[in-house]
Amino acid sequence: MNMHTAPVIGFIGLGVMGGAMCRNVALRHEGEVMAFDMNAAAFDAALGGTKATRAGSVAQIAARADIVFLSLPGGPQVERVCLGAEGLTSEERRPWIVVDLSTTTVASARAVAERLRARNVAFADAPVARTREAAQRGELSIMVGADEALFAKIEPLLNYMGSDVTRCGEVGCGQVVKLINNALVFENTVALAEMMVLGERAGVQPATLLDAVSKGSGDSFVLRNHGRKAMLPREFPQKSFPPEYVLKDLSYVLELAEQTGVATHVTKLSQRYYESTVGNGFSGRYFPAVIEMVDRNIGPAPAPAGKD
């Protein structure tokens, strides 16, 4: 690939985050941009009015793109798109680089990287953090696992989508940092939910509580965003990040903790709270609905026998 000319970029996965990221790529990249999603309507919704062209299949992306970005639900989808019978490496012509913006397990990222390396395709994991609005503005935080040479090639392209792009280490390390970031958000949300309900029952209005705490050492991103925008008005819409997605990410964190021999009691308690949220009327709703479990004295789901 000649890096002196603008590479052809392929983008697979045009969901809530992927669509916004791809739009910024299409608006800012000098070269050709191709995009694919299994839902054909997603292309028009995300990329209407841009120069991006719609590919009819993953194979069409593979046949032309130099660098391919993925924004997919999880590790199995990433593996299938990269390595499956009709995936990016199923034919002789293959992309030079695959950059995965999805959230997967660390083991999955490293396994896919190894298998792609055997097919002469470089791989970086580059999961993203922050909100849908940040994705639309191109102000995501992107955590990258890649060697230094590969990072130097992809960093300018990641800057189309993110205002903070951090090389976290070798492949897989982007997922490590992303999973830790998410776990801290989910755990902080549970802690804030308990304290908001406690404060209100002790006579302090929730809005007053958040205003006061935000001026002190108890302030946090979760307080200023999830607390003010969702938990205070008790607005938990569909088609936002639901507790089912939280449980997926926490399962990845707990898998990594088991592999590394770290006891993660707070994470396990948070997992049980979100299991309760799913099972008590808030399946598919925005995950800060966990505050309803506290307010209704439902609490976390029981721990499995023999588990903490």
* Residue in this structure with the two tokens 């397990």, named with its chain if needed: 105
What number is the average pLDDT over the span 224-247?
A: 95
| Alpha carbon separation from 68 to 95, 125, 158 (Å, rounded) | 7, 12, 12
Where does the pLDDT of residue 291 fall: very low under 50, low under 70, confident under 90, or very high at 90 and above? very high
What number is the average pLDDT over the span 3-17?
A: 90
| Alpha carbon separation from 258 to 181, 265, 293 (Å, rounded) | 18, 12, 28
pTM of the predicted model as reported, rounded to 2 decimal places: 0.92
pLDDT tens-digit map of 29-51: 999 999 999 998 999 999 999 99
* Paired tokens of 12: 């697979």
pLDDT tens-digit map of 177-216: 999 999 999 999 999 999 999 999 999 999 999 999 999 9
Where does the pLDDT of residue 4 fall: very low under 50, low under 70, confident under 90, or very high at 90 and above? low
Query: Which residues is 97 bridged to in the sheet?
Result: 67, 122
Q: Helix 173-201 vs helix 265-277: angle between axes, to the nearest 10 degrees? A: 70
CA atoms within 13 A on the CB side of 304: 4
CA dihedral 47, 53, 59, 65 (to 10 degrees): -100
Where does the pLDDT of residue 304 fall: very low under 50, low under 70, confident under 90, or very high at 90 and above? confident
pLDDT tens-digit map of 143-165: 999 999 999 999 999 999 999 99
Number of Cβ atoms within 10 Å of the Cβ of 38: 10
Q: What is the pLDDT of residue 306?
A: 65
Q: What is the pLDDT of residue 308?
A: 64
pLDDT of 2 > 70? The answer is no
Where does the pLDDT of residue 54 fall: very low under 50, low under 70, confident under 90, or very high at 90 and above? very high
Q: What is the pLDDT of residue 239?
A: 80
Q: Which domains are assigned to the chain? A: 9-170 (3.40.50.720), 176-295 (1.10.1040.10)
pLDDT tens-digit map of 88-146: 999 999 999 999 999 999 999 999 999 999 999 999 999 999 888 999 999 999 999 99
Where does the pLDDT of residue 5 fall: very low under 50, low under 70, confident under 90, or very high at 90 and above? confident
Average pLDDT, the chain: 96
Using DSSP, state whether 161 is helix, strand or coil: coil
What number is the average pLDDT over the span 241-270?
A: 96
Where does the pLDDT of residue 1 fall: very low under 50, low under 70, confident under 90, or very high at 90 and above? very low
Distance of CA 141 to the CA centre of its chain: 10
pLDDT tens-digit map of 267-284: 999 999 999 999 999 999
